[in-house]
Chains A and B, each alone.
Chain A
Amino acid sequence: MKVIQRLLDDKLAVFCLLVISIVMIAGVLSPVLAPHNPLELNVFNKYAGISKDYPLGTDQLGRCILSRLLYGIRTTIFLALLTMFVTILIGTILGIIAGFFRGKVDEIIMRMCDVMLSFPAEVMILAIVGILGPNLMNVVIANIVAKWAWYTRMIRSVVIQYMDKNYIQFAKVSGCSTSHIMRRHILPGVSGEVAILATLDTGWVILNISALSFLGLGVQAPTPEWGMMLNEAKNVMVTHPTHMLAPGIAILIVVGAFNFLGDSIHSAINPKLYQKKNNRSRMNVFTRNKKFISK
């Protein structure tokens, strides 16, 4: 695989991949790694400084900050990955259907996307969380609803480019079944593009989830989550400003790693595919520019 080779040659990409893997492993192993129970209260030991027992100190309720940070990986990153997975699943299925069959099906799916995209994602997320009620699952649902249309449209435009390729024409002529062509010929081609889109957006989803938790609309107390921890740190800002650092830096590192990785994958896979103008994308100029920016 040329793409993977090119990616491995990119030192920054390898480093980001390493960071992300370490964080994820730390998340999986958090019960082993965490020195304390993240929910364990200890009012006699609140605002403890850095010590051997509490490497990052304790918060306003005497909970171990490091343990909360480690358990927070589970909530923040795994929720983000779940969101991305479902979004991409929906986007890929609808995108392939629209791009493959064209005609009426395409028209209906694309008009639906137009409606969804005629609305800023941030407001859409707030609207859904607002009306369904603030909780974890609704945040995930809101992110999926806000993003699927964008993926559907991107994947559709990729599929349309593939449809003109000779090997697909040949497969069609030689009588391969529709599902066979989709599975064997289109899906592998599309998956590269999907990978870029997914990595570029994971950072965005993490920021969204933690922003909603920060506002108190996402994860509910006492579940450890980075945005939530920042919200708690905000309240004790005057007396204990250092509490703001750990969760913020954690978000910064993870989101930064995902963004850099996305950029690297982007340049590893031929960027020229992206430049082809899609007539429909005129409506949504911002997403077109997003591609432009990340080039």
Chain B
Amino acid sequence: MGIYLIKRVLAIIPIILCLSFLAFVLINLRTSDPAEIALRVNQMTPTEDMVNAMRSTLGLDQPYFVRYFSWISKSIQGDFGESYVTHRPVAEHIATALPSTLQLAAVALLIIIVCSVVVGVLCALYEGSVGDKLMRAFVFLSAAMPSFWIGILLIWLFSVKLGWFDTSGMERVSSVILPAVTLSLGFVSTYIRLIRNNMIKNKNENFVLYARVRGLKESRITLKIFINSMQISMTALGMSIPKLIAGTVVVENIFAWPGIGRLCVSAIFNSDFPIIQAYILIMGVMFVICNLVVDMINMMVDPRLRKEM
């Protein structure tokens, strides 16, 4: 286990290096010059001298690999450079935006867990009932509905028509509800299906038969089936967390939620490269670490996986 852990942690390093290199290379694939863009976003007409001066302030006159290594070594220390537009450190922007994104993702995660467990278990218990069929229709429907459409439909219904929530922004506690529901809908349908199908599959396992033979209470048997069915969902859920955070991009833009996804999209419109690079790097690291943690938890829970190593 210890050796495996070390191996996995070491395997992260090349992945993150590749990722950071990709983020770096892509900028150079762009036909326009970053120095010129850095000037243009501030409404300055770039002259030859100004572009050259900007190049040396941004360090663009240095060789490619020197630039890459200075960028990556600074990034590791949390210094992602300065935004082209506001001239404030990128780290500062991220630090103000990240908590709201995490807050949104946490509420969405809560909704996902509660809804999918309750509905999934009920569907499995009453397999083939009208409710189960309705749920399946809903699952298929929500898989085909674009989240941005759901988002604006919800805004229209609950904010414009009923006036229950704010249309956008993050002024009140209740304003998190609509974005979180929009964000969680796609995931909820996946997990309902996952939990339901796993529980139905496990219903016919030997351990259930044995429990019945022993005369255990039905509620206790259901609980056991549920626990035994959770593992795949747990794995998928762990993998969903970074996806959830990545998925906030669309939702944050609909609801004007001041998070990291909105920061990134506005940075894209402004060609604010340092912010985009920082976003890529942070998301990548988050995803890789989540992967690792989920795999570790699974190893601890399931002895069969430990044998595989």
Contact = CB atoms under 8 A, between A and B. Distances in A.
Interface of A: 114-115, 118-120, 122-123, 126-134, 203, 207, 210-211, 214-217, 227, 230, 233-234, 237-238, 241, 244, 247-248, 251-253, 255-256, 259-260, 282-283, 285-286, 289, 292-293, 295
Which of B141, B283, B288 has most chain A Cβ within 10 Å?
B283
Interface string B5-28: 000000000110011001100110
Contact of A216 (B238, B267, B269, B295): B269
Which of B149, B239, B254, B295 has most chain A Cβ within 10 Å?
B149
Contacts of B273: 131
Contact of A132 (B30, B235, B267): B30
The majority secondary structure among interface residues of chain A is: helix
A118 B267 CA distance: 24
Interface string B224-260: 0000000010011011101100110110011000000
The majority secondary structure among interface residues of chain B is: helix
B149 A244 contact: yes
B280 interface: yes
A131 B26 contact: yes
B264 interface: yes
Which of A233, A285, A295 has most chain B Cβ within 10 Å?
A285
B309 to A, nearest CB: 10
The 10 A-B residue pairs with the shortest CB-CB distance, nearest first, are A256-B144, A286-B239, A130-B268, A255-B144, A248-B149, A131-B26, A122-B246, A123-B283, A115-B18, A127-B280
A115 B15 contact: yes
A138 to B, nearest CB: 10
A240 B197 CA distance: 42
B219 to A, nearest CB: 27
A115 B12 CA distance: 10
B203 interface: no
Given A122-B249, A127-B23, A289-B236, A283 B291 contact: yes
B194 A289 contact: yes
B148 A122 contact: no
A228 to B, nearest CB: 11
Interface of B: 14-15, 18-19, 22-23, 26-27, 29-30, 140-141, 143-149, 152-153, 155-156, 160, 190, 193-194, 197, 232, 235-236, 238-240, 242-243, 246-247, 249-250, 253-254, 264-265, 267-269, 271, 273, 276, 279-280, 283-284, 287-288, 291, 294-295, 308
A130 B149 contact: no
B84 to A, nearest CB: 13
Contacts of B269: 134, 216
Given A115-B19, A289-B232, A120 B146 contact: no
Given A119-B19, A211-B250, A252 B141 contact: yes
Contacts of B242: 120
A128 B267 CA distance: 13
A292 B232 contact: yes
A134 B250 CA distance: 15
B146 A293 contact: no
Contacts of A122: 243, 246-247, 249
Nearest to B198: A292
B18 A252 contact: no
Given A120-B243, A122-B243, A131-B26, A244 B280 contact: no
Nearest to A257: B144
A244 B249 CA distance: 20
A283 B298 CA distance: 12
B148 A244 contact: no
A128 B23 CA distance: 8
B232 A126 contact: no
Nearest to B160: A238
Contacts of B295: 282, 285
A132 B271 contact: no
Contacts of A251: 144-146, 149
A230 B46 CA distance: 37
A272 to B, nearest CB: 15
A207 B146 contact: yes
A130 B147 contact: no
A244 B156 contact: yes
A132 to B, nearest CB: 6
